[in-house]
Structure 1
């Protein structure tokens, strides 16, 4: 299956940025990990696949529960970090919607925010179901829309600076998109994933960081927002930073920390068939 323009853009956005991700957005995304593993039924002895593992936070948490872990990511830099985080795990370079595993290989398949970064979400769901054994569970998180105030901060700074998304950063094709709501994500699992017993919940939390740490990732080009921030050169990046510094005051406490409200959606479902 050919790579979409969105997929190609994602590969460029994450290339060589594992360390910058881990120091900022990685800490944010770690919040959902325990609930994600619970939703997938990950426990001792389970054969687990972590898709879009990043620096290996989910894979390491699954291994700590006694699971037998495999993990994949499309970015080699992430794979190197994940392999160090989970010694002995099977960590490989691979990208949805094609995974290098046979049908029904895993008791549980998890993806922490991976659906935000694939060009064919429906084909991705079908592939996750394929590698999950009958009776096994698939669990996924995505960012909710509309974005929570803390999640929207960086985008507000970009808009306040008068910067638009450049053409070389294509959005997901309209025919591939889906509503980033509980109903929309659950519907995707039921239809594209053909999963049973689908459940979906909103997870809300306050991420605590500093203005300096929160700016460092985008300034290094991490994720799509980072690619927008650095897309027009140093002068425009500085203009966005100044707007960020002003807007960040809304979320800054007396101790100088940022307190950023975020909301994600967690959905899971079971592959029909015999018990895992």
Structure 2
């Protein structure tokens, strides 16, 4: 995950918390799914665009791929380099990839495209750096209307930070129209060969842990004081209670889309 890193650099402690909490609970299983969906095999040259702390690149490497990760966020890259110093990590822009044409057999983008200011430009760049006959595979989140696990947090943010603040925590879902995304791929020179829609579950030890990391990894964190944070957490506890077990652990359902394509 990346959070508009061109305009918002998360602190190191948030990147570490993201890796410790969200990666094992959600993004690692998603990475396994995306890598399998892309059909990565041993020896494939793989690019992970918007790599964050590098879970997709690491997963591709574990399947024998020669993995490279790219992100604009220095804190995320610092974690990625610490965890897998053997892989190739680059700071760069998804809309201006610093690689020659046809450099990779497989280009992946997990939970990031919606944070890029110009997704169409990023898709064109992914098509450009992917070799003829190669694969581009992206994962995005479904539309806000389909995210029943997100509504309680959105409502709490709206009540305590204003309706406009919801946009800062709902950017995940702005590419949730699958038909529109397929058209964007076509316009970018990518021939779509497969799509998949399913529901995944985000696990967190508590509502407070989820809200703290969710807000802390978005630009909303810069707008809230401690009191507003506390009010949002308290409100979210009530709204998200139906998704908690008796220990207080949280399991939130989210819809995702996977799109697989080849450079046209």
Aligned to 1:250: 242
1:170 deviates by 11
Does the CA contact (< 8 Å) of 1:186 and 1:199 recur in 2?
no
Q: How is 1:143-182 mapped onto 2 (pairs within 5 angstroms)?
A: 143-145=141-143, 146-161=145-160, 163-165=162-164, 180-182=176-178
Corresponding pairs, count: 256
Is 2:14 the counterpart of 1:22?
A: no
TM-score (norm 2): 0.87
3-state SS, counterpart of residue 44 of structure 1: coil
TM-score (norm 1): 0.84
Aligned to 2:202: 207
Q: Give the aligned CA root-mean-square deviation in angstroms.
A: 2.6
| Distance change in 2, residues 1:90/1:179 (3 Å) | closer
Aligned to 2:254: 262
Which of 172, 179, 182 is 1:183 aligned to? 179
| Distance change in 2, residues 1:37/1:242 (3 Å) | same
Does the CA contact (< 8 Å) of 2:207 and 2:249 recur in 1?
yes
Does the CA contact (< 8 Å) of 1:165 and 1:228 recur in 2?
no
3-state SS, counterpart of residue 23 of structure 1: helix
Aligned to 1:3: none
Distance 2:6 2:66 in 1: 31
3-state SS, counterpart of residue 163 of structure 2: coil
- Per mean C-alpha deviation after superposition, the further-off stretch among 16-25 and 74-83 is 16-25
Does the CA contact (< 8 Å) of 2:193 and 2:262 recur in 1?
yes
Residues 156-198 of structure 1: CA deviation (Å, up to 9, x unaligned): 22123363335996998xxxx9752221222211122x11243
3-state SS, counterpart of residue 95 of structure 1: coil
Distance 1:142 1:66 in 2: 25
3-state SS, counterpart of residue 216 of structure 1: helix
Distance 1:179 1:33 in 2: 19
| Distance change in 2, residues 1:170/1:257 (3 Å) | closer
Does the CA contact (< 8 Å) of 1:20 and 1:217 recur in 2?
yes
Does the CA contact (< 8 Å) of 1:57 and 1:85 recur in 2?
no
Does the CA contact (< 8 Å) of 2:157 and 2:166 recur in 1?
no
Does the CA contact (< 8 Å) of 2:161 and 2:228 recur in 1?
no
Structure 2: unaligned runs, 5 residues or longer: none
| Distance change in 2, residues 1:57/1:156 (3 Å) | same
Distance 2:76 2:5 in 1: 16
